[in-house]
Structure 1
Amino acid sequence: MRRSPAISPRDVPVEYQLYWPKSNKPRAILTTCATGIGVATNLCSLLSASIPQALEIDVVACDYAMLANNKTQEPVFIRYDVLAIVGTLDPHIASVPWISLDSLISGEGNQYLMRLFGSLTTPDQVAEINNLLLKNFSLRRVIESVTILDTSKVINHVEQFLLRYEHLAGVTVSNERKVALYVHISCLIERLIRHAGITTWSGQQCPEHELNRLREAFSVIESNYSVKIPTAELGYIHNILTFETDFIEQDQQF
């Protein structure tokens, strides 16, 4: 009988899998935005500027669609002990606290962060963080971080769009969606001025009557900035208004 050759332990392939011990994981807060990783990165910068480096808490920008689809299977959860997620739209990860951008702008979202930081640092430093959050997360400051346009004019024109849309549609847009739209439309105007508007749309079909409402509501922006808003851009706006964000997956070059 023919014998198989002896196998040395050195001949056996070894598979390696990296495990990051939970107790040694660096701590992080994630930022995300349904309208693109570019805005999430800008939010990351604002939040980083609000947290003293001594706390050793990283702030990491993440793609909304990846978080919403993969939940805690995303690699960022292997690498970090994630303390919270901040952004314009909740990716619904049950094990991680969600803090909406509009709640930070209104000041309501600071309460959770203060409790979070209260267990990590001194009361004086918690007060410092609170002051920095109030300064850095005003609506004006957020919009200034995502566009070079005149912030006061942009805010005023987006407000006119929202009021007109609510009147035409007979609805009241929630604060969460309004904040997302203020940020998104600010970036949209700049894209159109730079002739870099979105021209293709692979998301859910927007009903024609809704497109007509959006076009009419956007007329104030088109006339003030001498731009024409493509149908594809209206599709993204419709998704933000209805929270149907499955197709807002790409960085839109904000």
Structure 2
Amino acid sequence: MVAAHGHGIASGLAELANTLVGVNSVRWVELSLEQSPEELLGQVAHWVRTADQGGGVLLLVDFASLLPLGELVMRQAGVQVHTVSGVCAPLVVEAVRRAQRSKMVTLDQLAASLTLFHPEDETGKANAHSLTQRNILSDGYQEKDAQFPAVARSRVILSVCLTGFGSAAKIAELIEEHLPGLREQEVEIICMDINLSGKTEEDVQRLVGNRHVVAIVGTINPHLESYPFIALTDFLFGDGIARLRTLLGETLIDPALLHPSSAVGQRDVPSSSDTDPPLLTTGATPRLTQRSELVREITHTLSQSLLFLNPARAMPLIDHMIELIEVEVGETFDIDVLAGLMLHLACILERGIQHKGVLVSETVRTQVGQQFPRELSICRRALQVLSTQIARPLPDEEAYNIVGILRQVDIFISNSL
């Protein structure tokens, strides 16, 4: 919980941290200089009591004079509280990042590690506004507890799609293009398929070894709580690149995110009221909402990375194929589904029938065959139409993957039962 004086300061910091790390767990309370000590204590205690989920609350305050507030709140609210002063954007973001890294970390360990975090030291005040330095979120402390992986520890980014190649490989290329120097930082990009959705965080950690998973990027959300997920559309057209840089400890976010529109309504709500607690939703930069914009942007992106396919000619055919599926299925797919489909189909056309190996995971084959036979039949016919238009055979098996992208939420829900 962020507690700070000044209109919009606490809510802005909370919104920023939620957006950067991709969570929705940072709460805020706005303090006023006109409040009496009793009013301030009662206000903070109320929201701490509401926010607690059983493990206690980390209270980040602006002035060091508020450090004793944690103990007073703990007595009044009956909730374990640790207070850290000097709240600022890097501190809030780092607190959330560390809490996300290890679900087993205690409140004591988290608070103790943050006391060693100094985004700005006495000799560095002249450069306090140089927010693009890599070490602003990573070099200001020495790890105090083994629960927190050292920055020097090798890290991985997981690129996920239905098959583990195709879209995942293309996304990996895009990550390397937008974030050069990952190898020098000992960051490896690993492509994984949909079977990731059936694994627990422990399973994934065994797969990657003694390496820290920075984030999962892809067309498929495996719904692994401990790992931040960045959707393909956010990476290509939204704040995904900035979020990934932040998770890597390189920089803060695009300045536009410092004033997210979704935070305005929250700031107008008195935080001392007894209405719902101030839990900010994850803001985002303006993103594509029009299909024509999506087609144009994906065409531009693919034109810089595909070797054999001419995206300017292929994308209208791909879009037409998806429209055929939409008409027969009887619904219009949202922008995230469209982006995943378009990238996947472009990768199919790029590789043709040259790929050797399993095109469809057993997870997808089983779930699609049992639950979506009608959609499977529709996608097979649409794939045949596309094959005729390009005068080239396409793998019939890909119809399973197409349905998997269309109904990805249903597949994941089934896997989690």
Query: Is TM (by shorter chain) over 0.5?
Result: yes
The code of the aligned residue for 1:232 comes to E
8 Å contact kept, 1:47–1:59? no
SS at 1:47's partner residue? Answer: helix
1:44-94 Cα shifts (integer Å, max 9, x gaps): 232122224287251312322453233333335532222211111011111
Shift of 1:157: 0.9
8 Å contact kept, 2:318–2:345? yes
8 Å contact kept, 1:200–1:232? yes
Q: Which residue of 2 aligns with 1:161?
A: 321
Query: Which of 214, 231, 235 in structure 2 is aligned with 1:104?
Result: 235
How many residues get paired? 214
Check 1:49–1:194 CA distance in 2 against 1; reply closer, same or farther (3 A cut). closer
Query: Which of 197, 200, 221 in structure 2 is aligned with 1:71?
Result: 200
Q: Which residue of 2 aligns with 1:139?
A: 298
Which protein has the larger Cα radius of gyration, Structure 1 or Structure 2?
2
Query: Which of 115, 132, 156 in structure 2 is aligned with 1:28?
Result: 156
Q: Which residue of 2 aligns with 1:222?
A: 387
SS at 1:89's partner residue? Answer: coil
Check 1:70–1:197 CA distance in 2 against 1; reply closer, same or farther (3 A cut). closer
Check 1:122–1:21 CA distance in 2 against 1; reply closer, same or farther (3 A cut). closer
Provide the TM-score with structure 1 as the length reference: 0.67
d(CA) in 1 for partners of 2:185, 2:208 = 17
Check 1:34–1:143 CA distance in 2 against 1; reply closer, same or farther (3 A cut). farther
8 Å contact kept, 1:89–1:176? no
Shift of 1:212: 4.1
Point out where structure 2 has 5 or more consecutive residues left out of the alignment: 1-145, 255-296, 413-417
1:122-170 Cα shifts (integer Å, max 9, x gaps): 899xxxxxxxxxxxxx523247535621111121111111122112211
d(CA) in 2 for partners of 1:49, 1:220 = 34
Check 1:182–1:145 CA distance in 2 against 1; reply closer, same or farther (3 A cut). same
Q: Which residue of 2 aligns with 1:242?
A: 407
Provide the TM-score with structure 2 as the length reference: 0.43
Point out where structure 1 has 5 or more consecutive residues left out of the alignment: 1-18, 125-137, 247-254
Q: Which residue of 2 aligns with 1:61?
A: 190
d(CA) in 1 for partners of 2:411, 2:307 = 22
Shift of 1:180: 1.8
Shift of 1:192: 4.2
8 Å contact kept, 2:162–2:401? no
Q: Which residue of 1 aligns with 2:169?
A: 41
The code of the aligned residue for 2:233 comes to D
d(CA) in 1 for partners of 2:358, 2:225 = 33
Query: Which of 192, 211, 225 in structure 2 is aligned with 1:94?
Result: 225
The code of the aligned residue for 1:241 comes to L
Shift of 1:178: 1.6
8 Å contact kept, 2:194–2:361? no
Check 1:143–1:91 CA distance in 2 against 1; reply closer, same or farther (3 A cut). farther
The code of the aligned residue for 1:29 comes to I
Greater relative contact order, per chain length (Cα 8 Å cut-off, separation 6+) = 1
Once the two structures are overlaid, the 10-residue window that deviates more, 26-35 or 48-57, is: 48-57
SS at 2:243's partner residue? Answer: helix
Shift of 1:200: 8.2
8 Å contact kept, 1:29–1:85? yes
Q: Which residue of 1 aligns with 2:104?
A: none
- Within 5 Å, which residues of 2 pair with 1:110-189? 110-113=241-244, 115-116=246-247, 119-121=249-251, 139-140=298-299, 141-142=301-302, 145=305, 148-189=308-349
d(CA) in 1 for partners of 2:218, 2:359 = 26
d(CA) in 1 for partners of 2:197, 2:220 = 10
The code of the aligned residue for 2:240 comes to G
Check 1:211–1:122 CA distance in 2 against 1; reply closer, same or farther (3 A cut). closer
- Taking only aligned residues, the RMSD between alpha carbons, in angstroms, comes to 3.6
